[in-house]
Structure 1
Amino acid sequence: MASESRADANGIDLDHSLTVEEKYSLITRNLQEVLGGESIKKIISERPATLYWGSATTGRPHVGYLIPLSKIADFLKAHVEVTILLADLHGFLDNQKAPWELLRQRTRYYEEVIKATLTSIGVPIARLKFVVGTSYQLSEKYTLDVYRLSSMVTEHDAKKAGAEVVKQVASPLLSGLLYPGLQALDEEYLGVDIQFGGVDQRKIFVFAEKYLPALGYKKRAHLMNPMLPGLTGSKMSSSEPDSKIDLLDSAEDIERKVRKSFCEEGNIVDNPVLGFVKNVLLPLSSLKHGGEGRFVVRRPEKFGGDLVFTNAADLESTFAEKKLHPLDLKKGVSDALNELIEPIRAKFSSPELQELINLAYPPVKPKLSEEISRIDFRVGRIVSAEKHPDPDASNLYVEKIDFGEESGPRTVVSGIAKYYSLDDLNGRLVVGVMNLKPAKFKGVESQAMLLAASTADKSKVELLVPPESSDPGDEVFCEGYERNPDAQLNPKHKVWEKASAHLKTDAANSIAHYKEAPLKTKFGPLVAQSLNGAQIS
């Protein structure tokens, strides 16, 4: 027999009339995966379950947070006691994404923006507990447990556990290897039965299930929500501004980002805009209005008038039949998002919270613009290399290099035959100057130029090497300078000649620099193998 329920103004049940199955259904609905479901059923049959959801206080929270935050409403309805962990120490350990001196301010910012977001989507915050990680993670007992855990965990297991969460590099910092262990220990020190997070946390959850019992602590259950794709189709990330919408973005920024997003007409399989409506806007509408969700697309009468969708299936079929144009869908998404985010923007319009934003995320100084800004440096991988066909060009190689372009590898002619064998080059990561005017060398057109360091007498030449984690097509930028490359450099303006005069490796570590600024990909600096203080050309 269905149970009766009594709810407050936000639709959150206040009594205990729900059955175990009804509570479990609320706890697990719309999740991608559940680990330990039977243990959850046993707990909620005896007492309210306890759960935590944590967020490292790094980049500014984006609309991807709406998925886990809206799920908290289900937990509260099922009488779960919810703790929100503001994981400040985790933010620092993840390759220092949150500098130590900014941690306190960013933690305050996260608490305020999460509370404002929960209120905006109709989730009451009075029954939530907020905990700052360093309030217990610097204690003697916790620290000793970190050391105990480090004596059990191999480097392989730690790196594997953090693969989807901590930025992966060829030579990882120890801090990133500690990260999964700390997240596992949080379950014990927060005294919870369940940890909740995105499906990208799965390897850390499995790590916790393995190692907490080894420390003498109980094994917890784990709940995973689906990850929201970014507007460009990849995972929504604070480190990729165009892939995500900030919870405080202006109405104009939201419209611009949604308008630029990938949304192919009739495509319902690979469509992040449709996915956003399905996974965020419809469920949130249902939550706010206490029942059936509604997604409205407003159109002029001459284009068929407004459309109202109450479920994702109808929306997808209409779009697949090309009865809904991508521009109209995007406009509907922008309108719905702005309605949702406006209360958050209004709360943060106060002078106190505006000051907090500036303290947590100090304005970035404007980048300088010089000749170096106009040059398009990119990472490439040599697919093949062979000797130049002209017998009089014995110093030249002809390489096919993958620069991550849809058009395929570029042909590049390089004068490096004296310094590298052909076997040295195949599969090698290199850095190319992409926007020089193509030039012919002994009848073969070169469509890019490879960057190399060399001694003054050219007795030694070393190709610059990007970090191993780099991929073909990765941009190379110069720290402190804007990156705004020309489509093609005009040879008459001598842009490359003026910039290259200031390109050198430093005197200590062979790191490539323009003046005093390093050249780097998102994974780290470019280096020569051994040439310090050498000219780059």
Structure 2
Amino acid sequence: MSHSPLTPEEKYELITRNLQEVIGGEEIMKILRERDIKLYWGTAPTGKPHMGYFVPMSKIADFLAAGAEVTILLADIHAFLDNMKAPLELVKHRTKYYEELIKSTLESIGVSIEKLKFIIGSSYQLSEKYTMDTYRLAASVTEHDAKKAGAEVVKQVDSPLLSGLLYPGLQALDEEYLQVDAQFGGVDQRKIFVFADKCLPNLGYKKRAHLMNPMVPGLQGSKMSSSDVDSKIDLLDDKKTVARKLNKAFCEEGNVDDNGILAFIKSVVFPLGSLGGNNPQFIIKRSEKFGGDVTYTDYQLLEDDFRDKKVHPGDLKAAAIEAINNLLEPIRQKWANDPKLPELTNLAYPSPAKVTKKKESKKNNRPPEAVKAEKPVDVSRLDIRVAKILEAKVHPNNPKSYVSTVDVGDESGEPRTVVSGLASYVPVEEMQGRLVAAVCNLKAGNFQGIRSSAMLLAASSADRSIIELLDIPSDSIVGEAITWEGYEQAQRGAEEFNRKQQIFEKVAESFTLDEGGVAVYKDIPFRTSKGVVTAKSVRGGSIG
């Protein structure tokens, strides 16, 4: 029996507050009447953890306050299986990085990590018994069910990699091997949770309960994502970076539905402020002529005032900047005071530019300082964005080309004119209104008498019998950067290349399509905030 002063009902209320959905709530209540519940939360160490991690951390704080036994699974095998988001040689370093940063995050909000248990997935997922259960599971699950289960978590393509089909089953098995009563995750994992309920009994294992957080929108209105630098704030971003990103965030006056700032305040700031019996406070600071300071102790009042336009987006952003920096400062200080932690960061996320300089120095027998000022010729130099073709017509002077009006998300709001030689390969009706990948920092030039201000990327089979535009994940945001894990995106407006420089051509030599049809740069997938970029038909071809 638990020694917690809370009643089972009070524990259940604390465990389930602010969740979007609970599957198996009756079973949780039954267990709480007998003992404290055991649950786990898993995370795959891929991109750098961002502010969105405070959302599950605030719930883990609730679980611990309710007396739960909490395990955090660092799913290193899953990180590799999920479309190779984390290269195998970096997974070990990233796993340690995640552990240290998650501990720092929990400590920053006053959570004792003594009660937490951290487990690395490969510590048991490579065992003989687990491997045999994986085979047993594979013998009882159809491709359709596996693909459906992972649809919201693992990027799906027409010819999926087997690794992505295995992913949901392995996550289901984790519930048994961690010996928990419940699994906690985002509502985007619901299909995997339902899949686990169905397949675990087929192996002779019991069902578990599932607790689901709502998904918090990113700063640009979409899901907060490690692959979209504009959608999220990294846990180690400095104060100026936090302010810059929040000031650029989508925050339409009166809009409370697509507002990542309000969602974060609701999911993190107020719940954390109420820990330990405290009264949460969120202070809007403004001059007297605009009504003076306002202190909110209830989130709904803040949301109502924002909807009624009593709180200006600029004032909300300023208050959020202060609140977020207050949350991040203890993490920054810990990282600054322990020299081993920045070193771990460099091991987990090595700078491509530094690697290039070392290679160039060795290749040319020149000291590193001699190449210090030289910029690497890699994908970080290219400004490649999600764009939308507003209209496409056959070129008046060349029936093999199209002239398209394309929205690339420029701050001016004006679309660009783009000439592309696709008329022999892509029907004109397939050009209209579709999302595309556009290279936006090539110098404009005249093509058959019409000035073109960007380049549309297309996939080409080895014999060039098939040429098709790249497929962009649906609901990607027009103007968002296409990114590559480990490479910083190009600063917009920082560079513009002419054809003589051959920068794009040199980088594009490493653009290919893998066997699953995923567009990659040196085996690293092209990504938007909604997933990986693919080709419909081309496999193993080139991109240009």
TM bracket (short chain): 0.7 to 0.9
Distance 1:156 1:315, change over 3 A: same
Q: Contact 1:95/1:176 (CA < 8 Å) preserved in 2?
A: yes
Structure 2 residue ranges without an equivalent (≥5): 357-374, 515-520
Shift in Å at residue 322 of structure 1? 3.0
Residues 75-90 of structure 1 mapped to structure 2, 5 A cutoff: 75-90=63-78
The one-letter amino acid of 1:257's match is K
Query: Who is 2:325 aligned against?
Result: 338
CA distance, structure 2, for counterparts of residue 480 and residue 200 of structure 1: 27
CA distance, structure 2, for counterparts of residue 126 and residue 530 of structure 1: 49
Q: Deviations over 1:339-379 (max 9, x none)?
A: 12211222222112222222222233268367998876667
Query: Who is 2:174 aligned against?
Result: 186
Distance 1:355 1:141, change over 3 A: same
Cα RMSD, aligned residues only = 4.2
Query: Who is 1:319 aligned against?
Result: 306
CA distance, structure 1, for counterparts of residue 6 and residue 409 of structure 2: 56
Q: Contact 1:402/1:409 (CA < 8 Å) preserved in 2?
A: yes
Q: Contact 2:393/2:404 (CA < 8 Å) preserved in 1?
A: no
Secondary structure class of the residue paired with 2:352: coil
Residues 403-418 of structure 1 mapped to structure 2, 5 A cutoff: none
Distance 1:23 1:216, change over 3 A: same
Q: Contact 2:157/2:534 (CA < 8 Å) preserved in 1?
A: no
Q: Contact 2:459/2:535 (CA < 8 Å) preserved in 1?
A: no
The one-letter amino acid of 1:466's match is L
Match of 1:466 among 470, 477, 480: 470
Q: Contact 1:476/1:520 (CA < 8 Å) preserved in 2?
A: no
Q: Contact 1:504/1:533 (CA < 8 Å) preserved in 2?
A: no
CA distance, structure 2, for counterparts of residue 337 and residue 210 of structure 1: 40
The one-letter amino acid of 1:290's match is G
CA distance, structure 2, for counterparts of residue 111 and residue 268 of structure 1: 34
Q: Deviations over 1:77-97 (max 9, x none)?
A: 332221111212111211222
Tell whether 2:164 aligns with 1:176.
yes
Shift in Å at residue 335 of structure 1? 1.1
Query: Who is 1:328 aligned against?
Result: 315
Tell whether 2:195 aligns with 1:207.
yes
Match of 1:57 among 28, 45, 50: 45
Q: Deviations over 1:309-362 (max 9, x none)?
A: 101122123323433222221111111111122112222221122222222222
Query: Who is 1:132 aligned against?
Result: 120
The one-letter amino acid of 1:294's match is Q
Q: Deviations over 1:53-88 (max 9, x none)?
A: 111122222221112111123222332221111212
CA distance, structure 1, for counterparts of residue 511 and residue 116 of structure 2: 52
Residues 263-342 of structure 1 mapped to structure 2, 5 A cutoff: 263-287=251-275, 290-342=277-329
CA distance, structure 2, for counterparts of residue 310 and residue 453 of structure 1: 54
Structure 1 residue ranges without an equivalent (≥5): 1-12
Residues 352-371 of structure 1 mapped to structure 2, 5 A cutoff: 352-365=340-353, 368=375
Query: Who is 1:8 aligned against?
Result: none
The one-letter amino acid of 2:310's match is K
Match of 2:88 among 100, 115, 140: 100
Q: Deviations over 1:120-177 (max 9, x none)?
A: 2122222222211111111100011111111111222212211222233443222221
Equivalent pairs counted in the alignment come to: 505
Query: Who is 1:162 aligned against?
Result: 150
CA distance, structure 2, for counterparts of residue 26 and residue 530 of structure 1: 50
Of structures 1 and 2, the one scoring higher in RCO (CA 8 A, sep 6+) is: 2
Shift in Å at residue 304 of structure 1? 3.6
Q: Contact 1:209/1:219 (CA < 8 Å) preserved in 2?
A: yes
Q: Contact 2:253/2:313 (CA < 8 Å) preserved in 1?
A: yes
TM-score (norm 1): 0.79
The one-letter amino acid of 1:339's match is N
CA distance, structure 2, for counterparts of residue 14 and residue 510 of structure 1: 55
Moved more, 326-335 or 186-195: 326-335
Q: Contact 1:51/1:193 (CA < 8 Å) preserved in 2?
A: yes
Query: Who is 2:367 aligned against?
Result: none
The one-letter amino acid of 1:32's match is Q
CA distance, structure 2, for counterparts of residue 361 and residue 486 of structure 1: 25
CA distance, structure 2, for counterparts of residue 510 and residue 49 of structure 1: 46
Secondary structure class of the residue paired with 1:129: strand
Q: Contact 1:161/1:180 (CA < 8 Å) preserved in 2?
A: yes
Query: Who is 1:4 aligned against?
Result: none
Q: Deviations over 1:193-252 (max 9, x none)?
A: 111111111111011001000111001110001122111111111111221112222122
Q: Contact 2:408/2:438 (CA < 8 Å) preserved in 1?
A: no
Shift in Å at residue 474 of structure 1? 7.3
Distance 1:475 1:41, change over 3 A: closer
Identity %: 53
Secondary structure class of the residue paired with 1:241: coil
CA distance, structure 1, for counterparts of residue 272 and residue 240 of structure 2: 22
Residues 328-477 of structure 1 mapped to structure 2, 5 A cutoff: 328-349=315-336, 350-365=338-353, 368=375, 395-396=399-400, 398=402, 419-420=424-425, 422=427, 437=444, 463=467, 465-466=469-470
The one-letter amino acid of 2:185's match is G
Q: Which has the larger radius of gyration?
A: 1
Q: Deviations over 1:165-192 (max 9, x none)?
A: 2233443222221111111000000111
TM-score (norm 2): 0.78
Q: Contact 1:268/1:274 (CA < 8 Å) preserved in 2?
A: yes
CA distance, structure 1, for counterparts of residue 510 and residue 85 of structure 2: 28
